Amino acid sequence: MRNLIFILLLVPIFIFSQNKKEQKKATKTANTWLLKIDNGEYAESWDSTGEYFQNSIQRDRWSAALTASRLPLGNVIYREFNSADYKAQIPGAPDGKYYVLTFNVSYEKKNSGIETITLSKGSDGNWEVVGFFIK
């Protein structure tokens, strides 16, 4: 009985540590991807997104959209992690494993904003960007 109680106490700790590892991986992927955006590598950012994203917008349209919306904001002054929410369902997308990450951000020409990045766990087990917007 004592062993059962001990095991039951360890299960939530194990699950929590696994979730933290996955969150770190997703956040690292998001930060790497955001650097491409920050460096004006818009087409390359599209190349490193997931299939869902690529099926939603063509590469040249993605580049044009970022040129029109992100470029005028100027360079990033700061970006800090705000939140991570794990979801099994998101509107308009198939059920799966998702992280919705938010970052507080300041640009040269916009004092404050929030960047939201949605990542999905790909078939290869890696996290990939499937959504992005700036508010």
Span between the terminal Cα atoms of the chain, in Å: 53
Neighbour-count burial of 15, counting CB atoms closer than 10 A to its CB (0-12 exposed, 13-18 middle, 19+ buried): exposed
CATH architecture of 2-134: Roll (3.10)
Domain boundaries, the chain: 2-134
Block residue for tokens 């460096």: 39
- Does the global pTM surpass 0.85? no
Provide the residue-wise pLDDT of the chain in tens; the chain has 135 residues.
Answer: 565 554 555 444 444 445 899 999 999 999 999 999 999 999 999 999 999 899 999 999 999 999 999 999 999 999 999 999 999 998 888 899 999 999 999 999 999 999 999 999 988 899 999 999 999
Q: What is the pLDDT of residue 3?
A: 55
β-pair partners for 49: 129
Of 39, 38, 28, 50, nearest to 97 by C-alpha is 50
Tell me if 37 sits within 8 A of 62, measured CB to CB. no
